[in-house]
Amino acid sequence: MAQTYDGTRPWVLDPQVSLRPEPFGALAYHFGTRRLSFLKSRTLLEVVRSLGDQPTGDAACASAGVGDGELPRYRTALATLAATDMIRERVGP
């Protein structure tokens, strides 16, 4: 079920998603939906990889070095990933 992204909430990469790093960023493949997505930067790849280790989506962006001026662009990218079930809100610890 697609979710609406909120950067103040905790997020995680869906367990059915595999990431393959590429020079441009990464390919993300969801084995459940059979959807392929492109992460268009190495920084976005680092954000997605760190989601499960950070308290919020915005904290994952900060830990990957995303500045305040770039944050809206990364929130948009993460919203797209949430809408396509690549990431999901994390529940529990």
**Cα 86 from chain centroid?**
7
Question: Each residue of 34-57: pLDDT tens digit?
Answer: 999 999 999 999 999 999 999 999
**Does position 30 have pLDDT exceeding 70, yes or no?**
yes
pTM for the full predicted model: 0.93
Chain mean pLDDT for the chain: 95
Q: Where are the domains of the chain?
A: 11-85
Q: How far apart are CA 30 and CA 34, in angstroms?
A: 5
DSSP state of 18: E
Q: How far apart are CA 53 and CA 88, in angstroms?
A: 14
Q: How far apart are CA 67 and CA 22, in angstroms?
A: 23
